[in-house]
Amino acid sequence: MVGGLKRKHLDSEEEEEDEKWDWSPGSLRNCQQALLCISLDKVQCSLGPQAPSLCKHVLIHNTLQ
């Protein structure tokens, strides 16, 4: 059983090496925005339904910059 798990782990490592990463500024900005949205969603959920919308505040802040 352990050998099978180890083999699956090695297969997933090989797949990761085959992926090509796009390090262009546009791609990095998209990744950054996606991570920000995930983080905002998690914080918003922890604050509860009565809390003001963080996404709205971030959008206003980014627009004013």
In angstroms, the CA 49 to CA 52 distance is 8
Confidence tier at 3 by pLDDT (50, 70, 90) = low
Per-residue DSSP letters for 4-54?
HHHHHHHHHHHHHHHPPP--SHHHHHHHHHHHHHHHHHHHHHHH-TTSPPH
56 has a pLDDT exceeding 70? yes
**Cα 59 to Cα 3: distance, rounded to the nearest angstrom:** 50
Segment 14-31, tens digit of pLDDT: 555 557 778 898 888 889
Rounded to a whole number of angstroms, the CA Rg of the chain reads 19
